[in-house]
A = this chain, B = another copy of it.
Amino acid sequence: MTENKWESYVRKVVPYTPGEQPKNNNVVKLNTNENPYPPCPSVRELLDKFDVSQMRLYPAPDSEILVNAIAERYGLKSSQIFVGVGSDDVISMAFMTFFGSDKPVLFPDITYSFYDVWADVYRIPYKTCPLNQDFTINPDDYKTENGGIIFPNPNAPTGVLESVEMIEDIVKSNPDSVVIIDEAYIDFAGDGTSCLPLIQKYNNLLVVQTYSKSRSMAGMRIGFAMGNEKLIKYMNDVKFSVNSYTMNTVTQLCGAESMKNEKYFTETVNKIIKTRERSKLRLAELGFRFTDSKSNFIFASPSKKSAQYIFSELKKRGIFVRYWDKFVICDYLRISIGTDNEMDRLFNALEEILNG
C-alpha cells in the first residue's frame, strides 16, 4: 500500500495485546486475573432501581458519589482520591502528569507489560531494572537518578510481595521523583501489606488500586489512585484537559455501592486466598516451581514439559491460562485463581497432559 503524507505525522506504536477473551462460556478462564465470584448482590438491586432517564444527563464530572465511597472506605479525604476508567487509565494519566523529566523512569524488567507501552506512547525515557534471581526487587536499583519510579506490589506476573519497609526506603530516597506503587493485587496479600499509610508522610507517593480483581468489577472499568492532595489535583487538571466525563453514571453508582459492602468483599477475598494456597500444594505435587504468590494468580514453571506446550494443551481442553513467549518468563505460566471447581478442572487436565 502506498503511504500518504499524513501518515508520516501519525503516532506509530506497537499496541499492547490483552489476554484472550474467549466468547464460549464453557471455558475455564484463568488468563486475565479476573475474580471468579460475582460483585456484591446489592449491585443488582441498584440496577433495578436505576432511573434510565438519567442516562440523558452528563455524569457528575467529579464522580462525587464514587470518590466519597472510596474515601470513606480508606479513611481519606475525597481530595486524596483520583478515579479513572480502570487502573490502566489512572496509571497512564499519572505517566502523562508526573513523568515529564528527561531522566529515565525506572521499573522492573519483569513486570506489568503496559509500563513500557505507556512510556513509548508518551515519549517518556525509561530504564528497566533486573529483578533478582528469586524475582524480588533490589532497592538499590531505584536509588539512581530518575524521572519517576513505578512497580506493582505484589509484582505481576510474578506475584512476589515486597515489604512496606522496603518501599518506604525507596520513596524516602527519591524526594525529587513521584513513586507509583500499583497495588492491583494487594487485597490478596493480607493485612498490613499496603503502603497506603505512607501517603500521609510522603507527598511523592501515589498508590493505585482497582475494582478489577478483588472487587469483581473488571467489566465496569474502575481504578483509583490515592495520594496527597497536591498529587491528586495535578492529575485531575490533566484529566480535565483530556476528558471531563470519563466515569459514566451507572459505573459511578455500581462502584460506590460495592465499596460499601465490606463483609461480602472480605469473604470473597478470603475464599480466593484459600483456593490459592490449596492450589500451591497441588501444583507442587505436579512438579511445578513457583514463587510464594500473594496475589490472585500463581506464576508457575513446570518441570516435566515446556510451559508453551502445556499452555496450548490446556487451551485445546478449553482451559485458558496466560503464557508469554519472552526471555526468562517463557518457562512460566500465569494461572489466575478461579473457583475450587475450576481449579480442579485445571489440575485434572494438567495431570493428563503431564502424564500423557
A residues in contact (CB < 8 Å) with B:
1, 4-19, 21, 29, 32, 34-39, 43-44, 47-48, 50, 52-61, 85-86, 88-89, 92, 96-101, 117-118, 120-121, 147-148, 175-178, 203-204, 212, 216-221, 230, 234, 236-251, 254
**Complex CA distance for A230 and B7, rounded to whole angstroms:** 9
21 chain-A/chain-B pairs, Cβ below 8 angstroms = A5-B175, A5-B176, A6-B176, A6-B178, A8-B101, A10-B97, A11-B96, A11-B234, A15-B236, A15-B241, A16-B241, A17-B240, A18-B245, A44-B52, A55-B218, A56-B217, A86-B245, A88-B243, A88-B245, A220-B249, A221-B247
Contact of A100 among B10, B92, B96, B175 (CB under 8 A): B10
Complex-state Cα separation, A46 to B251, whole angstroms: 16
Q: Within the complex, what minimum Cβ distance (angstroms) separates A303 from chain B?
A: 31
Report the bound CA distance from A56 to B47 in whole Å: 16
Contact yes or no, B56 A37, CB < 8 A:
yes
Interface residue from B10, B242, B245 paired with A98 (Cβ < 8 Å): B10
Q: What is the distance, in angstroms, from A258's C-beta to the closest C-beta of chain B? A: 9
A254 to B10, CA, bound (A): 32
* Nearest chain B CB to A349 CB, angstrom units: 21
In the complex, A212 Cα to B219 Cα: how many Å? 22
